[in-house]
Structure 1
């Protein structure tokens, strides 16, 4: 058994070498896996399933090829690609997952999350998240012309970079109480998430039990894959 987990690839036409690393993984090592889980932010931004860029077409083709080879691909929305819908998921051969999702690995319950909902100290981001996850907001946004949506995404990325640069480092990470609450609510001893770009394995005591939180790495400079065997 071999299950792969990745997140925070932030695929973008401006970084073609990262796109190459993703397609290389899907055409190579991932073919030997039992499943691939993408836990959010596969793309740097997503403005709608009608995006006709060469990037979205290439990613869909490579991902679909992996699924067609017999390896199921599961996708969970991130904070950058939360608008990715069923139409594109079908094109790419991906199964959409809610955030959070519980799976079983060798009989053990494992909690999967993107991770942004755990960063409860970042009040401004949580307000923004609530706004853009509202179904009415999303319908109105997706009804706009594609060019207007792309311009909005460019502006939003700029504002995000400003917020990250100005915010205190500690509020950009998960809140320990939020982590504990999520693990208790789902009755798990292992959690896997991305978002923070701080890859690590955290082991700690929770209610008398030894538990584990695995944080996936980003793909800004290189690939980063968690393989559970």
Structure 2
């Protein structure tokens, strides 16, 4: 069995979700052969060199899960794109490119965070290009920690204000981008998060049946996962203790 999750947005002022994830790592994740996190594990990450008590605890729990025998993989999201090799080494998570193709359920599956598919949001796409630029990232990482923390707070505030004024369809994936991306990667199975709209979508690519699985975001009383057992893929929610 393999598990895929996304969009936990872990942060100190949401202790219920953090504890739910820790319980998940100590329970269901250890029963799986692999756990893949498709971005936004953290609400914000300002660099591997800054780790408070909260971040250290999450890293330690990931490492314990890895050491218990579960393969861990992490793909950057739009909130934690500054996670780097030091985090990967300490947590036991392999870093995945976005997108990544792998075999799941006997199919060639395309894994993404999902934000690159929201092409209708031109302002966000411009920010994404900047945020994924290695030169820009190096410039940010060179700033003092306090300046990076202030920048993270400012970006979260700006994101919330901008999203409140955007039409719902703009913040969802663009159907044409989905089809083009599946065609480009020669896949008929897409799995992503980001939109916080859990669902299984049926579509067609060049006359062939295709599916898009959207993994939901975690909340104080609820988590989401995609469970892969043999050829079966099951999108499911579960209660957090």
Please give the TM-score of this superposition, normalised by the length of structure 2.
Answer: 0.93
Match of 2:224 in 1: 224
Name the count of aligned residue pairs: 228
Match of 1:72 in 2: 71
Residues 1:189 and 2:177 aligned together: no
- Classify 1:106/1:173 alpha carbon distance in 2 versus 1 (closer, same or farther; 3 Å): closer
Task: Name the Cα RMSD after superposition.
Answer: 0.8
Distance in 2 (alpha carbons) for counterparts of 1:220 and 1:121? 27
Distance in 2 (alpha carbons) for counterparts of 1:123 and 1:6? 27
User: How far off its partner does 1:56 sit?
Assistant: 0.8
Match of 1:13 in 2: 12
Distance in 1 (alpha carbons) for counterparts of 2:105 and 2:224? 23
Match of 2:232 in 1: none
**CA-to-aligned-CA distance 1:55-99 (integer Å, 9 cap, x gap):** 110110010111101110000000000000000111111000000
Equivalent residue runs for 1:174-213 within 5 Å: 174-213=173-212
Match of 1:149 in 2: 148
Distance in 1 (alpha carbons) for counterparts of 2:104 and 2:218? 25
- Contact 2:105/2:228 (CA < 8 Å) preserved in 1? no
User: How far off its partner does 1:52 sit?
Assistant: 2.2
Unaligned runs of 5+ in 1: none
Distance in 2 (alpha carbons) for counterparts of 1:28 and 1:70? 12
**CA-to-aligned-CA distance 1:23-54 (integer Å, 9 cap, x gap):** 10100011110100000000000100011211
- Contact 2:120/2:174 (CA < 8 Å) preserved in 1? yes
Partner of 1:84: helix, strand, or coil? coil
- Contact 1:46/1:84 (CA < 8 Å) preserved in 2? yes
- Contact 1:40/1:81 (CA < 8 Å) preserved in 2? yes
Distance in 1 (alpha carbons) for counterparts of 2:105 and 2:204? 22
Match of 1:130 in 2: 129
User: How far off its partner does 1:106 sit?
Assistant: 4.3
